[in-house]
Amino acid sequence: MSRDRKLTAVRAVVFDAVGTLLFAQPRVADVYHLVGWQHGSLRSREEVRSRLYAAYAASEATSPTESPSLPASLVRNPTSEARERERWQQVVATVFDDIPEAVPIIFRDLWQHFAQAEHWRLAEGAAGVLDELSRRGYRLAIGSNFDRRLHAVVAGHPALRACERTFVSSEIGFPKPDERFFASAAALLGASPAEILMVGDDWTNDVLGARAAGWQALYLATEGGSPGTGKPDLSGLVDLLVRLPGVSS
């Protein structure tokens, strides 16, 4: 893992949620397969997994309606609670187009399932890392391309109370990696962008987006998976305790 990226004057740390602090348990694709099967889909587990990942990727590949002075890969269309719900409805409809009549109830079941904290587990070492970083004087927060359901999930995990704010794209109005997400989060934190460190497992959304907005960023190797485009800075959350010794006075 990379150890040469310098961190300067970090005072606040914002963590991505899914894939960084939280992991679905059971895995998302497995839940999709089970719920689809319960409502009559004959797609195999692997078919559901493949179609889900493709549908999700397509749902993110939007053509921006506005063109700030950034690469198109770092610009996203506005979002909202309604738009996020519509997006996931389309994802479900694409995955289970073999049983279109059952899509509304499948969507309802999946939407409710992932709104419950018990279906999400904390990343290994997350509780101890958050507690120690808070003790060392860092302000902690969560920044995610989720919707309002994330507030209930976070509230259901006592260890996440160390995070003073939870920023979700459906409420901010723009998803990561759009600079408007990061600008809004920084303003709500009342912190200078240069003092904020983003920690996440998505190279584009969490790292490139944060750096383009003036934040510092560290790329976390995906738990149980392979790294993406960039070279990971962290092999696990516990590595942060070496990189962040304490808030400088």
What's the confidence (pLDDT) of residue 209?
A: 96
State the pLDDT at residue 66: 57
Residue appearing with tokens 């790329």 = 219
Q: Where are the alpha helices (DSSP H) in 143-218?
A: 149-155, 169-172, 179-189, 209-212
Domains in the chain with CATH codes? 12-24+122-243 (3.40.50.1000), 28-117 (1.10.150)
Are 230 and 203 in contact, with CB atoms under 8 Å apart? yes
196-200: strand order across its sheet: 165-168, 139-144, 12-15, 196-200, 216-219
Q: Which residues in the chain land under pLDDT 70?
A: 1-4, 62-70, 224-228, 249
For 81-109, write each residue's pLDDT tens digit: 999 999 999 999 999 999 999 999 999 99
- Alpha carbon separation from 152 to 19, 39, 147 (Å, rounded): 17, 27, 10
Q: Cα 49 to the chain's mean position, in Å?
A: 19
Which of 116, 146, 126 has its CA nearest to residue 223? 126
Residue reference for tokens 């409809």? 93
CA 118 to chain centre: 18
Please report which helix (H) or strand (E) contains residue 135, including its range.
helix 126-135
- Amino acid identity, residue 78? P
Nearest-10 crossing angle of helices 103-113, 28-38: 140
Q: Is residue 4 classed as helix, strand or coil in its secondary structure?
A: coil
User: Cα(137)–Cα(147) distance, rounded to whole angstroms?
Assistant: 29
Joined together, the tokens standing for residue 234 give 């962290």
What distance in Å separates the CA atoms of residue 198 and residue 183, rounded to the nearest whole number?
Answer: 13
Query: For residues 211 and 218, what is the distance between their CA atoms, to the nearest angstrom?
Result: 10
Model pLDDT for residues 105-138, shown as the tens digit of each residue: 999 999 999 999 999 999 999 999 999 999 999 9
Q: How far apart are CA 99 and CA 240, in angstroms?
A: 46
